[in-house]
Amino acid sequence: MAPHKKLKISAVVGTRPEAIKMAPLLQCLTAVPDIETHLISTGQHRSQLDQVFSFFNITPDIDLELMKENQNLNQLAARALNGMDALLEETSPDLLLVQGDTTTAFAGALAAFHREIPVGHVEAGLRSGDLQNPFPEEANRKLISTFTTLNFAPTYVARNHLLAEGVDPSSIITTGNTVVDALYTISNKVTELPKDVAQAVISNHRLILVTAHRRESWGEPLKNICSAINEIVRRFDDVEIVFPIHKNPKVRDVVFKSIPEHKRIHIIEPLDYFDFISTMKHASLVLSDSGGVQEEAPTFGVPVLVMRKTTERPEAVNINVSKLVGTDTDEIVTQATAALSDSKFADRIARTGNPFGDGHASERIVSAILTWHSGKTPYLSERESFVFNKPE
Ligand code: UD1
Ligand code: UDP
């Protein structure tokens, strides 16, 4: 008898958030004996990615080591497409999993499509409706949707975007976001503030966690964000800003020039995932333009002011647990002032829960993949899908 052929799945990641969001899914996939999993890292990020690999104890099977300081999008995309093509030729998986909307995800999906390898898109269907915001991610995720076989939409909002674009309903599985699965692996262990942060801040002060890195904010908008931070510490003498700064030199140059030294502003190196989440849990407020951070904060009842023009993650904004504030200095300061004075914010979030996921997204994805592999439609009923229950 011929030996039983395993389902060969490759997954590709390149940046910090892709690795965090793929980690729980990889864990679930490797637990299935009939699946052989192969992890490709493009190395689009280096130190920020390695922090995640080391935290989740992940070793990629291959690393394309694509990061170069300040390379532009076409240079990166071309190198990623080339590298992925060679790998896919060599390994010919039955399915390639990509996550989100980065250049790695786009190039990976395109390379698989060219080689007629089915693509599974984790976090499919997010849309801001504006190709410039976020740039280039809105275009990347729309392009990925055009050649995806299995669309793992995190929420019904995302599912509806795909349906509106004419995507075959039987290819869409509503799973919740795997970022919440990742959080559940650590949320019980997260208790204390990380030692370095605790030593830097005054313990009875309120903590504001800041992150900012978006390409469309480089230059003026990022300067405005920095001016808002300077003004917030001037206005409130009981707040401490903790700002783990992205490794991108385009971000660093502006931030270091625009925020003068201040004893209550702590610009620090990127925190590892555990320490970042621990800091988030202790924060009174988060100011961020990050996608993942918007999805994580509701779990801890921490309000987020989203410093962007648009968000493709309206689920939290719609239930008033985060707010879209743009990048205008005065507006950020006004909204931060309001949020810091709103004692009901945290209660509101505690009542609603996290609208992005319930910690079971990876299980749903694996189950859908197995159903698809057996030749059936990977359908999940509404009861089996992730449906966010709004409060009364
Ligand atoms: C990328 C993604 C973005 C995602 C973000 C997560 C694209 C187009 N953008 O943006 O969608 O939200 O990652 O953080 O895919 N760098 C380092 N070390 C690192 C990481 C980055 O030095 O560990 C520096 C390098 O100089 C690199 C630059 O940052 O060239 C930019 O990195 P890149 O991946 O091109 O874009 P991001 O802005 O990080
Ligand atoms: N994160 C981290 N350390 C940090 C900042 C962020 O581990 O210093 C994590 C965070 O918990 C979230 C993810 O990185 O899961 C978000 O990544 P990023 O903001 O770089 O990308 P985006 O989500 O905007 O694509």
Here the tokens at position 312 are 């493709």
Query: What mean pLDDT comes out for the span 131-144?
Result: 98
pLDDT given at position 187 = 82
Handedness of CA 170, 183, 128, 104 (dihedral sign): negative
Helix, coil or strand: residue 37: strand
State which ligand 1 atom lies nearest to the alpha carbon of 101.
Answer: 11
| pLDDT per residue as tens digits for the range 313-358 | 999 999 888 999 999 999 999 999 999 988 777 677 667 789 999 9
Q: Which of 56, 104, 266, 273 to mutate to test the pocket of ligand 2 (most atoms within 8 A of CB)?
A: 273
Per the prediction, the chain carries an average pLDDT of: 95
Please give the pLDDT value at position 377.
93
| DSSP assignment string, 220-257 | HHHHHHHHHHHHHHHH-TTEEEEEEPPS-HHHHHHHHH
Domains of the chain (ranges; CATH) run 7-177+357-373 (3.40.50.2000), 195-352 (3.40.50.2000)
One-character DSSP codes across 184-199:
HHHTTT--SPPHHHHH
Confidence of residue 188 (pLDDT cuts 50, 70, 90): confident
Which pLDDT score, from 0 to 100, does residue 392 have? 40
Q: Which atom of ligand 1 is nearest to the CA of 290?
A: 12
**Of all protein residues, whose CA lies closest to atom 12 belonging to ligand 2?**
292
- Predicted confidence band of residue 391 (pLDDT cuts 50, 70, 90): very low
As a whole number of angstroms, the distance between CA 268 and CA 241 comes to 10
Mean pLDDT along residues 308-313: 96
pLDDT in tens, 75-121: 999 999 999 999 999 999 999 999 999 999 999 999 999 999 999 99
Q: How confident is the model at residue 3 (pLDDT cuts 50, 70, 90)?
A: low
Question: Per the residue annotation, which of 18, 63, 101, 295 is the catalytic one?
Answer: 101
The DSSP H or E segment spanning 153 is strand 150-153
